[in-house]
Amino acid sequence: MAGENPTSTATSSIDPSSGFCSKTLVYHSLRPPVPLPPLSSNISIADYAFSLLAATPPSPATVALIDASTSRRILYPELIRRVRSLASSLPSRLRLSRGDRALIISPNSLHVPILYFALFSIGVVVSPINPASTKSEILHHIQLSKPVVAFATSGTALNVPPLSLGMVILDSAEFESLMTSELGELDRVEVSQSDTAAILYSSGTTGRVKGVELTHRNLITTVAGVNALRLARKSPAVTLCAVPYFHVYGFALCARGLGMGETLVHMGRFDLGAMGRAIEEFKVCQAALAPPAVVAMVKAGGSMMDGYDLSSLEVVRCGGAPLRRSVVNGFRDRFSHVHLAQAYGLTETTGRVFSTVGPLESKVLGATGRLCPNCEAKVVDPTTSAALPPLQSGELWVRGPSIMKGYVGDEEATRAILDSEGWLRTGDLCYIDCEGFLFFMDRIKEIIKYKGYQVAPAELEHVLYSHPDIAEVAIAAYPDDEAGEFPMAFVVKRPGSNIDASRIKDFVTEKVAPYKKIKRVLFLETLPKNAQGKVLRMELTKLALLTTTSKL
């Protein structure tokens, strides 16, 4: 398997501080290598996770899952019993078999992790999608993954077309029966680690949504890496999952959290007050949040969070998009006892490939962590394809056993992102410093080309966020016949501000080179973002063109 065994290199040529090899120009992880099962072993991610539980079994009284909205709990013995009963029932009652694909369209619930593990254990491919998807979006997902059965809720079922093996409603007596029926003889299904375990979906911010095939080996690698780095605790960690299980962030968290015997508390729609109550009630020690939630925590001031006891909270983990430095500083000021740990990853890398471990690493401002175990990275000049040393920015390439199998049914798109040596081109402009920390700069496709110069939107956004009258800002390209394109600012004013476009332009002009100057400003009530908090720059450019056309 490409990328399974990192390139063998003499230790003397690898910088122990950065992990950079001067001979191969490849970055190696500074974390100790993590042993993985032999590739020849037929083992599913469910088998692997439960083997970790068996090796260090949690107390029978340990809670596995908690629904924050209802406070309903499922203990580990019940979790395992329900997974096994469901894995026994699905082949006999629904005729599901290894290699079949199952569409799952549900908000976070106690049922979803149980369903995932049951399907994993019988070799059925899990294909979860956003429950807010429209009928046309669902149809596109179905065309990609070709599921034979759907698992939906009473609220999402109406949008799902008929499938060959029908539909199961998760919040129904039927599904409860499947999970609690008398456990019969469970025939072991031989699942290869190279089998597809899941089809998740890329965000689609740079094109049509694509189905990302992740194998059991990919998921095992992710769980093994986190398990190897976890710190010893007197009692199991209680983790608040405020991200959706259908997204790779929540999906991977579900697999590794339950594999390590943690208590997983999930929320539905994010709400600051509900999060505060959950942290206090369930003594949450770590929270997995998307960037908008962290921003909301910082902006809330004393209005939403101060009424709750947050003393149990030790770490907030944030992924999906990089946080601005002003947000990081604001979080540190507001929650001085909590470590803010960022990570970098893609759906195509099974989640994080760079992560922050421990309080010291979380203090490196602007960084998204160090390379995860068993992974390699390169920083490549986008123009010449030459590999670059520390502190030089270029496209980040990553390789290792967590890299996806490919895009389902799209060999051309797979070849465009994944080369024959297993390197995945992330499309992100980054640099790695002399201590091995990754710093994200921007999406390469979003770099603005002004008269041959390259302008990074994130750099201008950083400048503008220092202005006291600006609440939010995004920079996107505006097409121009003479210059090619130039940077345009989309600004959300702070309440009560009367700042105008000319003052914003002048503010930037004083701080940047002439070719980076802002040429146009548009004021908005809010910025368009996806569920993970990434600003949709292409939508901004379309909005700018529409606004300009409407004024002609």
Both structure tokens of 84: 């096994």
Which of 172, 53, 66, 155 lies closest to 110 in space, CA to CA?
66
Of the candidates 377, 413, 382, 383, the residue with the CA atom closest to the CA atom of residue 397: 377
Is pLDDT at 82 greater than 90 in this prediction?
Answer: yes
Average pLDDT over residues 504-531: 88
Cβ atoms of 200 and 347 closer than 8 Å: yes
Which residues does residue 73 pair with via DSSP β-bridges, in sequence order?
66
DSSP notation for 384-421 = T--B--TT--EEEEEESTTS-SEETT-HHHHHHHB-TT
* Tokens found for residue 510: 């004083």
**Pairing of β 406-407 and β 27-28:** unpaired
Among 422, 424, 415, residue whose Cα is nearest residue 2: 422
Instruction: Indicate the range of 68-72, 103-107, 292-296, 350-354 predicted with least confidence.
Output: 292-296
- Give the closest residue to 108 by CA, choosing from 278, 273, 254: 254
- Total residue count of the chain as it appears in this document: 552
DSSP 8-state symbol, 307? T
Q: How many CB atoms lie within 10 A of CB 103?
A: 24
pLDDT category of residue 205 using cuts at 50, 70 and 90: very low
215 residue type, one letter = T
pLDDT, average across residues 328-343: 91
Would you give the DSSP letter of residue 150? E
Tell the residue number behind the tokens 């899990």, with chain if given. Answer: 126
Query: How crowded is residue 443: how many other Cβ atoms within 10 Å of its Cβ?
Result: 18
Amino acid at 463: V
Contact present, 488 and 478 (Cβ < 8 Å): yes
Q: Give the list of residues 6+ apart from residue 232 with CB closer than 8 angstroms, or none.
A: none
φ/ψ (deg, to 5) at 425: -85, 115
- 447-551: CATH topology is GMP Synthetase; Chain A, domain 3 (3.30.300)
SS3 161: coil
Would you place residue 207 in the very low, low, confident or very high pLDDT band (cuts 50, 70, 90)?
low
Tell me the per-residue pLDDT of 348-403, one tens digit each, with 9 for 90 and over: 999 999 999 988 999 998 899 999 999 999 999 988 989 999 999 999 999 999 99
Give the whole-angstrom CA distance, residue 14 versus residue 25.
Answer: 9
pLDDT-based confidence at residue 306 (cuts at 50, 70, 90): confident
State how far the Cα of 447 lies from the Cα of 454, in Å rounded to an integer.
6
